[in-house]
Each structure stands twice: as structure tokens, then as C-alpha cells.
Amino acid sequence: MPHPCKNSTDKLVYNIDAALPDIHVQNAGLLTALTAKKFPFLGEVGLSATLVKLDANAMSSPVYAADSSVQVIYVAKGSGRIQVVGINGERALDTKVKAGHLYVVPRFFVASTIADGEGIEYFSLITATQPVFAEFTGKTSVWGALSPQVLEASLNVAPEFEQLFRAKIKKSTILVPPQN
């Protein structure tokens, strides 16, 4: 019987659980991104991946792939609610998921996850080597690029609300702890 080649194993296997997370938010969870920089084989096959571990009742804020990549997401542990919104602004998916479930987020669709009381862990395979995700919250929020006037008109709000909205959005992160 042939013996496994250690060199091949190192090239084809990566322990994402042991990797340092790229984002860690206390009481919310962690996100570990995996690209060809950490795992060169992914670059050879044109993929990247993320591992998200949300604490109980935490949320991953809405994001979308701005580079036309598709995500295939596998729920490894726990349960929660996922919402996927299409290009036309209509909800494409709003359902409970649990360990063992697999779902797809099509290109340019927005996705968000809220963990149940036990938390949720999911692994996402992405059809791009360097995916570009745009956030609706945080310092890199797409809202931040809009002028105050455009934001006020888009949301049909007064200037005071626009300022409050912008301030709150900038304080948010991609992983959101539960409200107490």
C-alpha cells in the first residue's frame, strides 16, 4: 500500500480552526478569512474561504460580494436565522438553519446571519481568490461614501437623523453582539 506523501498533505490540508481570527469581537464571535496567502492551494483552484463563529444571539451584519463571486455556506455547528436579499431588494431567503444545512448566496446578493441561543458556526467557500465584500456598517460601509444630501434623500429623513444614522453606522462592526 502506498504511503501518504507528507509534502502533499501540507499543500492540500489547512486547519482553519487553529488559525488566528482576522476579526474578533467580544460577545459577538470571530471571523477567519482564508486566501491563497495563508493556503496557496486555494489560489490554484480559484477559491477562498471564511469561517464564522457567532456567539449566542450575535449577528453578522449584512454584507455582499462586490466582485460577483458566489458563496456556498455550510452550517457546521449550532443554529440561527439567515436572510438573503436579492438585487431587486426583495428577500430571496429568510429561514432557520442548523448544523448540516448548506445554502448558496448568489452573486451581488446581501446576506446576514443571526445566531440562536447556542450560537452558530458556518464555513463559506467563495468563488474568488481575493473576494471583495462590501459592508453596510462599520468604517468601510457603503453608506459612508454617500453625501449627506444623497443619504437624506435616499432614506427620506431630516439632516439630524442622517447625522445620527451615519454616527451609529460607523461605530458598528461586521460582528454584532446581542443587545442586553
Average pLDDT for 75-87 = 96
With respect to residue 32, please indicate whether it lies within any of the assigned structural domains. yes
* Residue 64, C-alpha cell as written in the block: 455582499
What angle (nearest 5°) sits at the alpha carbon of residue 103, between those of residues 101 and 106? 175
Q: Which of 23-37, 48-62, 162-176 has the lowest mean pLDDT?
A: 162-176
Whole-angstrom Cα distance, residue 131 to residue 98? 26
Which among 16-20, 65-69, 131-135 has the top mean pLDDT? 16-20
With respect to residue 59, please indicate whether it lies within any of the assigned structural domains. yes
Cβ pair 141, 170 in contact under 8 A: yes
Q: What is the predicted pLDDT for the residue at 156?
A: 83
Whole-angstrom Cα distance, residue 69 to residue 48? 10
Tens of pLDDT along 94-131?
999 999 999 999 999 999 999 999 999 999 999 999 99
Residue 159's contacts (CB-CB under 8 Å, 6 or more residues apart) are 148, 152
* Residue 177, C-alpha cell as written in the block: 453582539
With respect to residue 25, please indicate whether it lies within any of the assigned structural domains. yes
Residue owning grid cell 458566489 = 70
With respect to residue 163, please indicate whether it lies within any of the assigned structural domains. no
With respect to residue 123, please indicate whether it lies within any of the assigned structural domains. yes
Q: What is the predicted pLDDT for the residue at 105?
A: 97
With respect to residue 130, please indicate whether it lies within any of the assigned structural domains. yes
Average pLDDT for 157-161 = 85
Between 171 and 43, residue with greater pLDDT:
43
With respect to residue 151, please indicate whether it lies within any of the assigned structural domains. no
With respect to residue 1, please indicate whether it lies within any of the assigned structural domains. no
User: pTM (2 decimals)?
Assistant: 0.82
Look at the chain and report how many structural domains it folds into.
1
For residue 164, is pLDDT > 80? Answer: no
Between 147 and 111, residue with greater pLDDT:
111
Name the average pLDDT for the chain: 89
CATH number of the domain bearing residue 39: 2.60.120.10
Q: What is the predicted pLDDT for the residue at 98?
A: 98
For residue 71, is pLDDT > 70? Answer: yes
Cβ pair 79, 119 in contact under 8 A: no
Average pLDDT for 132-161 = 78
Whole-angstrom Cα distance, residue 145 to residue 141? 8
Residue 108's contacts (CB-CB under 8 Å, 6 or more residues apart) are 64, 65, 66, 68, 87
Largest CA distance in the chain: 74
Domain that holds residue 33: 6-134
Q: How many CB atoms lie within 10 A of CB 167?
A: 9
